[in-house]
Structure 1
């Protein structure tokens, strides 16, 4: 027979409370946010590739963040042929149709946990869902009836932003447009347009994660923060060492596992990094712009654990989240490049 001490009941209650708190935090961190379909957008011709209405997810702000808005644009590449665009309409990720969109979790820059997202956790946070295959740039009136394709991405962007303005974003004190990959490119391309929706008194800035394109940046007037790896995994796999440029598959193992890279291959990757750094440094000229260029072998870091974790991805002893927050609130200029790590590494 087990002998119970006088404090057994108190210890049990404390243990249960700790377990409940841990479970609650896990639920809050991983719970999906309801998908909102904008049915009224169809009448304006603002539709996904398959003609279905656009959609977004919205988690309401709280505390001192109720008048601040973060709009994060989902990534997902481009479809550059008719067949590619047709295929998107059937993808379970919903990259061509809101009929197939799953509810996605809010993590990283979208998290409502202060420990993970110290500057934006209590803002109104919006996940702009991507379903047009062109970073919200297409605006073709004619419909491809043979393939039932609608190229209306620009209208989709407008429809979602206008919906958000109608539910409170027009009164924002602070507003941030961000995105990763194709969404990171969209956050650059639409940065000034997004800014124009607000009054002059609203602080508006943009963050592009893994979506850097140098020819566009000089034409954007709104402050932009570039988050990118000098060894972006997607760029390495799909632009630098493609199947066409590497027909013998010498880079195949290297791309999948950095430990398999030869000295010669690492040297080629270092040359890729040098070219990238030269390009980004030539574009980031204004003190209003920011950048966080690390050497993590990764693609998209703002919506993952690397946003506010992983010491190996820090620059100047700051996480990406801290660097972006300081820059947004004008606490200091942050334009840092990882010069400590020459080779790509896992973060």
Structure 2
């Protein structure tokens, strides 16, 4: 019997987990119909001697440590033609800092995958991932966005911005390839990014003493693509760093030996005119622009200090890169893809191999003194925006350090911050998602 069978269910009721699961199921349906859609979903103990497995309905009671922050449309979006996929106005949530953090800024970019063809982009524009029409008027600030010092000891009093994601391109699309045949799709991710940065500079970020650009999943990839440009926008004496959470997507073959993710990224880059937003040195070197949508191809060119929060058993990457549905026609991996405790020994060997590829890819960057890493062996996706995985008495730990403590050590240069976990299932503090629970 697997360890999670002995666990009591976690009690709490944050509504967002049910929403994410519904969206995940709906996007998988769209993917099957459209043939190539890859949509992201996000996520989410403790110390005992067994690792935590939890379902989509199992969340934390964070009401006391969270705040609801209103949505702000980009004021110059119309003027700069910076539109979501459907032509609506993009925006963000802003919570002002206070005290010693009043001149420090933390920008967090949401994730939400990408769309690679007209069908999937058209479906996406009818959701919050492609239209501000469907976005909530308020959003919770948890984890790295929290203004509670207990939950967020190093960044609690900074100015916080949560950027809404509605372009399907990691804020890198350009209108050159927009179709004028009645599809009414707007590929304006780069325009949104530029307009957003201009607005944030205008409302105070231009005087920042410290700045941290963060993002989750597709938002994490956006951080890596725009990191150096973000650095260049701010004064030379501003301490600027970038953090990508679950944004390091590997270019690996799937279990059937196919280049599924490479093919998908090729379609995303071609459809949405992303090439001009990619690292020029990488594009010139590779000869194939879509390869430069993979962080492993261009992070060596990034000059700004970087931090990676990356689960070695990222459930999104396992389900969409390593074992996409097309690679598993007999569905022998279905239970494993939904809950890592259901994987047999052969499947775990494959997952360990994927972890090894991640570590090998990152190995040459570990010697950079300006970089930091928290690579835990959990079956999860994003971890910085949730209170329970960012910093709590039951958070995932490596060497008894939470993600928040490790990021703080790196940003403020308190100590070296390269922390890499042993293989699954060795870490009893992991949160391991159970995607079969709805």
TM-score (norm 2): 0.70
Q: Gaps spanning 5+ residues in structure 1: where?
A: 1-24
The aligned counterpart of 1:11 is none
Q: Does 1:110 align with 2:110?
A: no
Q: Out of 384, 398, 406, which is 1:323 matched to?
A: 406
Give the alignment of 1:271-290 within 5 angstroms: 271-290=353-372
Q: Out of 242, 251, 276, which is 2:333 matched to?
A: 251
d(CA) in 2 for partners of 1:144 and 1:238?
27
Does the 8 A contact of 2:107 with 2:214 survive in 1? Answer: yes
d(CA) in 2 for partners of 1:321 and 1:344?
17
The aligned counterpart of 2:278 is none
- The one of the two structures with greater contact order (alpha-carbon pairs below 8 A, sep at least 6) is 2
Does the 8 A contact of 1:288 with 1:333 survive in 2? Answer: no
Q: Does 1:98 align with 2:132?
A: yes
Partner deviation per Cα, 1:282-315 (whole Å, 9 max, x = no partner): 2333110111000011000001121113656211
198 and 191 in structure 1: CA distance in 2 versus 1, 3 angstrom threshold: same
d(CA) in 1 for partners of 2:168 and 2:423?
37
The aligned counterpart of 1:260 is 342
SS in 2 for 1:34: strand
181 and 26 in structure 1: CA distance in 2 versus 1, 3 angstrom threshold: closer
SS in 2 for 1:275: helix
The aligned counterpart of 1:138 is 173
d(CA) in 2 for partners of 1:184 and 1:133?
13
d(CA) in 2 for partners of 1:343 and 1:237?
22
d(CA) in 2 for partners of 1:247 and 1:29?
45
279 and 152 in structure 1: CA distance in 2 versus 1, 3 angstrom threshold: same
The aligned counterpart of 1:78 is 114
SS in 1 for 2:191: helix
SS in 1 for 2:78: helix
SS in 2 for 1:43: coil
Structure 1 residue ranges, 4+ long, deviating more than 3 angstroms after superposition: 25-28, 340-346
d(CA) in 2 for partners of 1:97 and 1:269?
35
SS in 2 for 1:235: helix
Does the 8 A contact of 1:67 with 1:173 survive in 2? Answer: yes
Q: CA deviation at 1:220?
A: 0.7
Moved more, 231-240 or 302-311: 302-311
The aligned counterpart of 1:34 is 70
SS in 2 for 1:239: helix
d(CA) in 2 for partners of 1:185 and 1:26?
28
The aligned counterpart of 2:27 is none
Give the alignment of 1:120-159 within 5 angstroms: 120-141=155-176, 143-145=178-180, 146-159=182-195
Moved more, 307-316 or 102-111: 307-316
Q: Does 1:233 align with 2:335?
A: no
The aligned counterpart of 1:292 is 374
SS in 2 for 1:214: helix
Q: CA deviation at 1:339?
A: 2.2
The aligned counterpart of 2:124 is 88
SS in 1 for 2:414: coil
Q: CA deviation at 1:344?
A: 8.2
